Amino acid sequence: MNLTAANGIREDAALTGAARRGWLVRSARWIYRRAPILITMIPLLALWEILGRMHLFLVLPPLSDVLVAMWDIVTSGRLGDAVPDTLLAIAIGLAISLIAGIACGIALGMSPLLEEVFGPYVDVMMSSPVSAIVPALVLVFGTGRESIVVTVVLFTFFLIVVNTQAGVKQLDPALREMALSFQCSGWVMLRRVIIPGALPLILAGARMGVGRSFNGAVFGEMLISIVGLGGLLMTFGSRFMFDRLDALIILIVGTAVLIVWIFELVERRLLRNR
Amino acid sequence: MATLARSIDTPAISIQDVGKQFVTSSGESVQALAGVNLEIGAGEFLSILGPSGCGKSTLLRIIDGLIEADTGSVTIAGEPVRGPGPDRAMVFQNFALLPWLSVVENIMFPLEVRRIPKDRRRELAEQALATVGLSAFAKHYPRTLSGGMQQRVGLARALAVEPAILLMDEPFGALDALTRATLQDELLTVWSRDRKTAVFVTHAIDEAVYLSDRVAVMSAHPGQVMEVVEIPLDRNREASIRDEPEFAEIVTNLRHMLHSPGVGTPR
């Protein structure tokens, strides 16, 4: 505990120091810290280009072709319809998963009876191949956006439930006892003790959920309605336009990583005092 | 030579024939407490002293209302205890500060639970912080404080609700010897101001002697109060009292009592 405290202080000091020196120094520092991955990435990208030029695999066009295709996709306006479609499905699905998942996770974490009754279902759903159910969703929700949203929910809900539940359960019982001793109960207990105590794992669940929600949305679009980014992937794939396919995959992954990264920043800000 | 125990004829806390059984995870049932009788006077400082596993913390939690006794009863000012109440406040062994709240927010937390208006909350919290000498650390977070400072916050939090009874569960058990001695003196200073009824659980004999009007000595398996010993030392205590032969004698007596057959923890 003392160790982490000391690290925290040192980190804070480093941060304020860097802030004073302006963004140029900060970006230099960022590059310096990322140097290992940046350096190792270069030969990998080179290998991609070389293998691509050797035309060994159909799915692996040269990197330069992929980059050109990426420019094409972005500038041609083809993303104009697809991106809002997909992002909206992700936003709605993720919002549903977060609200319902955190609520269910808290309930399961606090009630041994509920955990006993519903815990096994959550475990089953966590490890079941959700993708297998996705085509069947059409029968219930049709081929519209609803099905995509439900896919996103299926991909993320249980992950968030499990994380929230774990967060509630790892809360130091001494803190709950302290609160009880001061006659804290009900809503105040939930808002001031349980939720803040579970917050680190709730946020971790949300962050992982973001990654999975992209997966879910694209997968749903590919299988169900051939719209959005998933639909675009299907189109490129079925026409063997692998340079465009790869370019689009990189764009999707990049967006997901960017959003996960934003969540990480929020997470760090919310937990900075612990 | 000493102003002896406060008027026991007006007991603040009356513990009658309290028993408590626990079932361990392996299905074994353990008699934590059996037939515990104890009267604690208003304004008295009483320590509950005993080996680990004697149920002294359980007894304290029964007084606080966190745990229900299987048999017997605890009454406070004539009223049976049915749960935690505003007349009692507890100081915990591992401080139990909320790590996501600043020092002043931690002290305000029980006041928020009690629906005290925000301005008044801050006022009370700042008063309590001043009492323990931590006004300068109001905006710090618990992890940046030493153990001793964290427990000062724990004490301030309990004082801020202005309880009639202060319950302390080995509050200095997690601190180093030097810090512990300092905090004992600070506790006595704070307690001397308004002499709340204080129940102090500890397994350190000298600590019990130094702080208390009376010491209830407990034995384990099952947890019982063996004897209640009056501490005939002057109530205005300073650290130098530890060097008096009388102090050493009382400590020795209590040690013999604790080490007599049936008290220890033969497992």
Q: Which of A146, A138, A152 is CA-nearest to residue A101?
A: A152
In chain A, the residue whose alpha carbon lies closest to the alpha carbon of B110 is A182
Indicate whether B167 pLDDT > 90. yes
Residues B151-160: what's their mean pLDDT? 97
Nearest chain B CA: its distance from A19 CA (Å)? 22
Beta strands B45-49 and B29-41: pairing type? unpaired
Cβ partners under 8 Å of residue B255, min gap 6: B205
> Rounded to whole angstroms, what are the CA distances from B223 to A149, B45, B55, B218?
59, 21, 5, 7
Compare CB distances from A174 to B64, B94, B102 and report the shortest one's residue.
B94
Angle at B208 between CA B206 and CA B214, to 5 degrees: 130
Phi and psi based region of residue A271 (left: phi greater than 0; alpha: psi -120 to 50; beta: remaining) = alpha
Q: Side chain identity at A175, as an amino acid letter? A: L
Name every chain A residue with its beta carbon within 8 A of the beta carbon of B113.
Answer: 179, 182-184, 188
What's the pLDDT at A17?
Answer: 55
Q: Which domains does chain B have, with CATH numbers?
A: 1-82+197-267 (3.40.50.300)
B99-135: pLDDT as tens digits: 999 999 999 999 999 999 999 999 999 999 999 999 9
Where does chain A hold its CATH 1.10.3720.10 domain(s)? 73-270
Indicate whether B26 pLDDT > 50. yes
A12–chain B Cβ distance below 8 A for any pair: no
Nearest chain B CA: its distance from A184 CA (Å)? 6
Q: Which of B218, B226, B212 is CA-nearest to residue B4?
A: B212
What's the pLDDT at A14?
Answer: 54
- CATH number attached to the domain at A73-270: 1.10.3720.10
CB contact under 8 A, A182 and B109: yes
What's the pLDDT at A2?
Answer: 43
Name every chain B residue with its beta carbon within 8 A of the beta carbon of A177.
Answer: 66, 92, 96
In chain B, the residue whose alpha carbon lies closest to the alpha carbon of A186 is B113
Residues B142-148: what's their mean pLDDT? 95
Q: What rounded mean pLDDT belongs to chain B?
A: 91
Interface contacts (A, B; CB < 8 Å): 65
Q: Which of A268, A187, A193 is CA-nearest to residue B101?
A: A193
Name every chain A residue with its beta carbon within 8 A of the beta carbon of B67.
Answer: none
CB contact under 8 A, A177 and B100: no
What's the pLDDT at B1?
Answer: 38
Burial B172-186 (b: 16+ CB within 10 A, else e): bbbbeeebbbebbeb
% of chain B at pLDDT higher than 90: 82
Confidence category of residue B6, pLDDT binned at 50, 70, 90: very low
Tokens 């399961």 found at = A108
Q: Which of B183, B110, B109 is CA-nearest to residue B146?
A: B183
CB contact under 8 A, A184 and B85: no
What's the pLDDT at A131?
Answer: 84
- Give chain A's residues under pLDDT 70: 1-21
Nearest chain A CA: its distance from B4 CA (Å)? 31
pTM of the model: 0.83
What's the pLDDT at A19?
Answer: 56
Indicate whether B4 pLDDT > 70. no
Name every chain A residue with its beta carbon within 8 A of the beta carbon of B160.
Answer: none
A269–chain B Cβ distance below 8 A for any pair: no
% of chain B at pLDDT higher than 70: 94
